[in-house]
Amino acid sequence: MFLKIAARNVLRNKRRTAFSLGVTALGVAILYFVVGFITESFESIKINLAQEIGAVQIADAKLFDNKTERYEYLIPPQTLEQILALLQDDPRVTGYTWTLGFAGLIGNEKNSTLVVGRGLVPGNPIEDYSRVVVDGRPLTNDGTPQILVGRRLAEKLNVRPGDIINVASGTASGAFNAASATIVGTIRYNNITQEGQIGIVNLEFAQNLLRTQGVERVIVQLKDIDQAEAFAQEIRARLAALKIPLDARPWQKLTTFYDSIRAFWGVFAAFTTMGVFVLVFFSVLEVLTMSFLERTREVGTIRAIGTNRSQVFRLFVTEGAILGVLGGLLGVALGTVLGLWLNNASIQWLPPGALDPAPVQIAVNLSVAVVPFLTALISTFLGTLYPAWQTARKNIVEALSYV
């Protein structure tokens, strides 16, 4: 009965109801957009990070903590074989590879600059950078010295695929070594600084340059990257049982970028939610205060025929709840439609520090709608309490004499 009467009362002043629903729906749609964008951004960042650095990495703890001197952290061939034996038959593992990083100089007789090199196994199942080659071809494992360089690095050195380039670096024993390689391609890298320094070489070339047979780290890819932390913990225990002094860390702990961006977007979402909450709260408070005051004599009448204060209060609160539910549903529907349109509109933006624009995508699903809908429901409910309490507490004589 209360619900039926409350629904009728909501529709009595259509203009005022439409205003309340419009404000609520707009706030919910804005919040839906923000939550959807953040959700999609997190998912995209997570996938890209796991694709580039792997779900789990196995290496010396001092390497992870940047506390190494020279190349004391290198994993010898016999230890590498033991690690691969642990991963070989694990059904959670979709692929693994090993790399060797180095820093040095790269150039020719005309120019030279710093290079951050990465030696890898060409065609490995995790990342061989073939998908980001924009000119030339990927690395091959034909035994010849080859290198991929970032576009900005190629521009800086004025080189192109087919040119010979010299690479120099300190060896694992502390001596100095240099070697020549053929530039087989240039790659794009969505980071301005790194694209001007990155060089990707065959693992064999990197080992010959550093005069070592060791590798820097083992990179593991999993079917479910959300299970990376549990998998890393298990691998650490198995390494300890084999008395291998190495650590295993999940992708979340391999970079501070994810935690930083997550904290930033979390604060942004919190402020947006607060803004929408305040907007809906005060709009509902104002509209319902006016509505309830106009019905003061009506309240006195129903009180005179036996309706008590609590029943009047519940009736008004039910009206507010109906506004919240309708406004929330309309806002979710509006946000869903606009989100689907935006996803199909191919709108792009340039993330901070990136060279290439990325498509703007909004996650459209039930989990995204929960926070905006609850924000609308709670804010309208709280915005209803004071005017409902103020109107319901009036005594009958005062209410009937209200003008």
**Domain check: are 163 and 291 in the same one?**
no
**Domain check: are 152 and 298 in the same one?**
no
Residue 103 contacts residue 169 (beta carbons within 8 Å):
yes
**Domain check: are 71 and 216 in the same one?**
yes
Q: Is the pTM of this model over 0.85?
A: no
Q: Please state, in angstroms and rounded to a whole number, the distance separating the CA atoms of residues 36 and 268.
A: 13
Q: Please state, in angstroms and rounded to a whole number, the distance separating the CA atoms of residues 142 and 130.
A: 16
Among 213, 245, 277, residue at a domain's last position: 245
Closest CA to 136 of 179, 182, 103, 96: 182
Within a domain: residue 55? no
Predicted pLDDT of residue 283: 82
**Domain check: are 188 and 237 in the same one?**
yes
Q: Please state, in angstroms and rounded to a whole number, the distance separating the CA atoms of residues 283 and 376.
A: 11
Pairing of strands 93-107, 112-120: antiparallel
Give the model confidence (pLDDT) of 189-239 as tens digits. Answer: 767 778 899 999 999 999 999 999 999 999 999 998 889 999 999 999 999
Predicted pLDDT of residue 315: 79
Give the model confidence (pLDDT) of 322-338 as tens digits. Answer: 888 888 899 999 989 98
**Domain check: are 199 and 309 in the same one?**
no
Within a domain: residue 56? no
Domain extent at residue 299: 2-48+258-400
Looking at the DSSP assignment, which residues form a beta bridge with residue 349? 358
Q: Please state, in angstroms and rounded to a whole number, the distance separating the CA atoms of residues 228 and 249.
A: 8
Give the model confidence (pLDDT) of 66-105 as tens digits. Answer: 887 788 899 999 999 999 999 988 999 999 999 999 999 9
- Amino acid, res. 117: G
**Domain check: are 102 and 208 in the same one?**
yes
Give the model confidence (pLDDT) of 358-401 as tens digits. Answer: 787 888 888 888 999 998 888 888 888 887 787 777 777 665 66
Predicted pLDDT of residue 217: 94
- Amino acid, res. 309: R
**Domain check: are 14 and 103 in the same one?**
no
Q: Please state, in angstroms and rounded to a whole number, the distance separating the CA atoms of residues 124 and 103.
A: 22
Within a domain: residue 70? yes
**Domain check: are 278 and 188 in the same one?**
no
Predicted pLDDT of residue 49: 75
Q: Please state, in angstroms and rounded to a whole number, the distance separating the CA atoms of residues 126 and 97.
A: 7
Within a domain: residue 54? no
Mean pLDDT of the chain: 85
Within a domain: residue 156? yes
Between 189 and 352, the more confident residue is 189
Among 245, 275, 305, residue at a domain's last position: 245
Give the CA diameter of the chain: 101
**Domain check: are 66 and 41 in the same one?**
no
Residue 146 contacts residue 195 (beta carbons within 8 Å):
no
**Domain check: are 272 and 307 in the same one?**
yes
**Domain check: are 71 and 40 in the same one?**
no
**How many domains does the chain contain in total?**
2
Within a domain: residue 250? no
**Domain check: are 110 and 184 in the same one?**
yes
Within a domain: residue 253? no
Within a domain: residue 251? no
Predicted pLDDT of residue 187: 93
Report the SS3 class of residue 306: coil
Among 214, 245, 276, residue at a domain's last position: 245
